[in-house]
Structure 1
Amino acid sequence: MTIDLRSDTVTKPTQAMLDAMMQAQVGDDVFREDDTVNRLETRIAEMFGKENALFFPSGTMANQTAIKLHTQPGEQVICDKYAHIYNYESGGASFNSGVSCRLIDGDRGMFNAKQVLHAINPNDYYYSRTSLVAIENTTNKGGGACWDFNEILEIRKVCNANKLGFHLDGARLWHALVAKSETTRQYGEVFDTISICLSKGLGCPVGSVLVGDSKIMQDAIRIRKLFGGNMRQAGYLAAAGLYALDNHIDRLSDDHKKAKDIGATLSGLSMVKTVEPVETNIVIFEMNDDINTVAFIEKLYQNDIKIISMGGGKLRIVTHLDYTNDMHKFVLQQLKKLNITNS
């Protein structure tokens, strides 16, 4: 039995989720006739207090659609240097929307309103026009860190004063909501658009949803089509999302606890240099300079444990729905037993 801790996207649907999927009432979503997709979109829009929601096959496509809705070619998006839209979406911001990214050197993927203000370009014609601020919550490369909501409110004020759009890449927003006892309505009131992932943390096989008010979302379905994202009987996938919303959110606190256990264990190993603070389900750590990280990963793999390198000497462990209590005990034991020699 392999214990896969590379990401929370490696989970497989539970039997109960599969049952819900097989019972879905479906239709042709291109004609907007899939009842289950429509129910999922309506439900998530209502959760965030937004007028519209649209189901997407991936979070990347939802984010890329949001960028295109907010910008015109030649404009600029402000985001953190660790942002998913900059690092992990294949240069889509420039390719799909013709925009550049103004990178902020934040703290674990997060920045403050003052930094946003300083990053806005002057109005002179020879500057790229700043049109959008995008943040990510929780931050992936920041180790699952959660934003301070008060800082988000301050950034909103800057956006209002400078007529900028405000987008949230909420790939793991569910984790932040559980960790900080916040609500979907809070976020819906602040952001113009929010992408919500159903396959990270919630255990769905596929799917993200983009929410926003009717004016900003009026071309979303056209852009989804342009990106090749229209689906037909997508209700089987949407049914997984509906099931997850009912059954898989509260349990995220279990993933957070396991991640904190792993972080504490790693902190006690002499071969580990640093462990980022663990708030949710992601653990990012670095080995000592004299430790071969490739050998460390291989040693874990030999013991049926998979983790991932993030580059720059950083390693990542992500807890999730399929990571059981017995697996957790085994992983903690193996971490304590490891003895990697210099190479």
Structure 2
Amino acid sequence: MKIDLRSDTVTKPTKEMLEFMMQAKVGDDVFGEDETVKKLEERLANMFGKEKALFFPSGTMANQTAIKLHTNPGEQVICDKYGHIYNYESGGVAFNSGVSCKLLDGQRGMFTLNQVKEAINPLDYWYAQTSLVAVENTTNKGGGACWDFNELIKIKKVCLENKLGYHLDGARLWNALVAKKENPKQYGEIFDTISVCFSKGLGAPIGSVLVGDADIMKNAIRIRKVFGGNLRQAGYLAAAALYALDNHVDRLVGDHKKAREIGEVLTQKPQIKSVEPIETNIIIFELNDDVSEQVFFQRLVDRGIHIISMGSNKLRMVTHLNYTNDMHTAVLKALKGL
């Protein structure tokens, strides 16, 4: 039995999701004729209390479009040193928008109001103009950590005072909403743009949506086209997202529970130096200095368990839709026996 805990992106559509996809009413989305895409976009806009939503093939493209909407070449984005837009989007911030990142040394991918204040450049012309603050929730490199919503509100006030855009990379926002018992409209009220993904915890094969108010979103579809993101009969993919919203959000609680149980076993192992606090579905742990990462890794592979390295003797596991109860029992047994 192969057990894949490398990421929640490895999930495959359920039989029920596939059947729902095949029933979708589709059309040419470039001509604005795909009913299912329209339905998804309207639902997401309403869900977050925003005026506009746009379907994208990937979260990276949605984030990159948002950055382009908020900035001009030569300006600067404030984000955490762990931020996905900085670490895992192939330098797109510079390549696509011609802007730089002011990196904050936050805690597990989360920074504070005061750090944002200190990072805003002076208005003197020899500094890059600060134009955007970008937040990631949950934080990937931070081990699936969830932001304190009150801190996000405080940062919003700084953005308003300094006329800065405010973007949320909400690739795993669904996990945060479930874990913290929050709702989408809370986030829609404070962020100018929000990207959400359906191909991670919600188990769709592909797709993200960017939401925002009409003014900031007016050129989003043009930028998506520039980035090669126009789709034709995309309704089959939008249908998967709609199905996921109706059937795969509440079940995230189970993924979080499994992650905590894995963490509890890891904390008892003498080979493990530390386990990051577990709030959602990501487990990041560090091996002792005298433990070989390669050997530890291979022992899991020999038991059919596949995880991922984060570098510096840190490893990551991610629970997800296709990680069954039987697989979970096998993983706990294997870890205890190492």
TM over 0.5: yes
Structure 1 position 279, deviation (Å): 0.2
Give the equivalent residue in structure 2 for 1:275.
Answer: 275
Code of the aligned partner of 2:250:
D
Code of the aligned partner of 1:122:
P
Give the equivalent residue in structure 1 for 2:159.
Answer: 159
**Residue correspondence of structure 1 range 1-343 to structure 2 within 5 A:** 1-338=1-338
Distance in 1, matches of 2:220 and 2:50, equals 14
Unaligned runs of 5+ in 2: none
Distance in 1, matches of 2:147 and 2:110, equals 7
Greater shift in the superposed pair: 289-298 or 215-224: 289-298
Identity %: 72
SS at match of 2:196: strand
Structure 1 position 328, deviation (Å): 0.4
Give the equivalent residue in structure 2 for 1:341.
Answer: none
Code of the aligned partner of 2:310:
M
| Number of aligned residues | 338
SS at match of 1:158: helix
Code of the aligned partner of 2:72:
Q
Code of the aligned partner of 1:168:
L
SS at match of 1:9: helix
Root-mean-square deviation (CA, aligned residues, Å) is 0.4
SS at match of 2:111: coil
Moved over 2 A (4+): none
Structure 1 position 312, deviation (Å): 2.1
Distance in 1, matches of 2:295 and 2:116, equals 41
Distance in 2, matches of 1:312 and 1:298, equals 17
Structure 1 position 235, deviation (Å): 0.3
Structure 1 position 311, deviation (Å): 1.3
Distance in 2, matches of 1:39 and 1:297, equals 44
Unaligned runs of 5+ in 1: 339-343
Structure 1 position 298, deviation (Å): 1.2
Structure 1 position 177, deviation (Å): 0.2
TM-score where L is the length of structure 2? 1.00
SS at match of 1:280: coil
Query: For each residue in 1:129-185, what CA deviation from the matched residue of structure 2 results, as whole angstroms up to 9, or x when unmatched?
Result: 000000000000000000000000000000000000000000000000000000000
Query: For each residue in 1:48-70, what CA deviation from the matched residue of structure 2 results, as whole angstroms up to 9, or x when unmatched?
Result: 00000000000000000000000
Distance in 2, matches of 1:298 and 1:155, equals 44
SS at match of 1:135: strand
SS at match of 2:223: helix
SS at match of 1:55: strand
Structure 1 position 291, deviation (Å): 0.6
Structure 1 position 299, deviation (Å): 1.1
Query: For each residue in 1:186-238, what CA deviation from the matched residue of structure 2 results, as whole angstroms up to 9, or x when unmatched?
Result: 00000000000000100000000000001000000000000001010000000
SS at match of 2:10: coil
Query: For each residue in 1:85-131, what CA deviation from the matched residue of structure 2 results, as whole angstroms up to 9, or x when unmatched?
Result: 00000000000000000000000000011100000000000000000
Distance in 2, matches of 1:261 and 1:166, equals 35
Query: For each residue in 1:24-67, what CA deviation from the matched residue of structure 2 results, as whole angstroms up to 9, or x when unmatched?
Result: 00000011100000000000110000000000000000000000
Distance in 1, matches of 2:34 and 2:297, equals 44
Distance in 1, matches of 2:123 and 2:20, equals 53
Code of the aligned partner of 1:42:
E
Distance in 2, matches of 1:18 and 1:220, equals 29
Structure 1 position 243, deviation (Å): 0.3
SS at match of 1:300: helix
Query: For each residue in 1:234-284, what CA deviation from the matched residue of structure 2 results, as whole angstroms up to 9, or x when unmatched?
Result: 000000000000000000000000000001100000000000000000000
Distance in 2, matches of 1:101 and 1:294, equals 33
Distance in 1, matches of 2:24 and 2:310, equals 38
Code of the aligned partner of 2:218:
Q
